[in-house]
Chains A and B, each alone.
Chain A
């Protein structure tokens, strides 16, 4: 069976996550071999995910950790741990 481009697009995300079955994977790969448009979509999506996983991309606001730990240090002095299930 030959896949249409739209069909491939709908599985791009699951293909990247390796959660399509072997048969569908083979069909998608056969399609990608001759379809530049779908290959470009796959590459661009993958590149975005590489960039997303880069720790320099999504960062905490400046001073976030310092403020958080300062507040914890202050409040933990009096804070009590509740009994389980309460």
Chain B
């Protein structure tokens, strides 16, 4: 239902023998596949290898893609299956993956309370170290939250697509996304607050 015409055309040409076009087909999906797999494997080299393997599997299975979903979500689903397969073989199917069955772990998901947040200028978001802190905070999220956050907020899939890729319900997507965001807010908001303690004057003098 979502397959766009360019994508469908590319796929038809690849199936007809123009195999080199596969490079163009997957290029827009590389980051999404890698980051989603990284959320599961937690190891950059392994996530990269799973991504490569998944792309090859997708090539071989291309004739089975029916454009009922987006090509990118189909590809991510293949990559997650490949990741799960490897974790199983390695005996590393973690406790976290049990959460995929629908039981949500307990935890504290209340946000950080910051009465002076509004004084922080948007310029603070431009700083490299703030971005690095966000990347580190996302890395530390439990896998089930990290996957949902990656698909919804980094790759901007909608709730339905995220649910489809992760094989969980839309409601579980919403719960996990909320918790992921609150865990990140709690971790990052205090850091942003103390990063530039003297910007109130700066703020006034320039506005």
* A binding-site residues for B, Cβ under 8 Å: 6, 9-10, 12-14, 16-17, 19, 36-37, 39-41, 43-45, 47-54, 56-61, 64-65, 67-69, 71-73, 75-76, 79-86
Residues of B within 8 A of A83 (CB): 63
Residues of B within 8 A of A53 (CB): 153-154, 156
Interface residues on B, range: 35 or more
The listed residue (B23, B52, B122, B184) touching A48 by CB distance below 8 A is B184
Minimum C-beta distance from A44 to chain B (A) = 4
Minimum C-beta distance from B32 to chain A (A) = 10
B153 near A68 with CB under 8 A, answer: no
Which residue of chain A is the closest to B185 with respect to CB atoms? A45
B185 near A48 with CB under 8 A, answer: yes
Q: Is chain B's interface secondary structure helix, strand, loop, or mixed overall?
A: helix
A79 near B56 with CB under 8 A, answer: yes
A76 near B154 with CB under 8 A, answer: no
Residues of A within 8 A of B86 (CB): none
Q: Is chain A's interface secondary structure helix, strand, loop, or mixed overall?
A: helix
A40 near B182 with CB under 8 A, answer: no
Give chain B interface residues in 138-190, CB to chain A under 8 Å: 138, 149, 153-154, 156, 159, 174, 177-178, 181-182, 184-185, 188-189
A59 to B44, CA, bound (A): 12
Which residue of chain B is the closest to A73 with respect to CB atoms? B23
The listed residue (A51, A57, A80, A85) touching B60 by CB distance below 8 A is A80
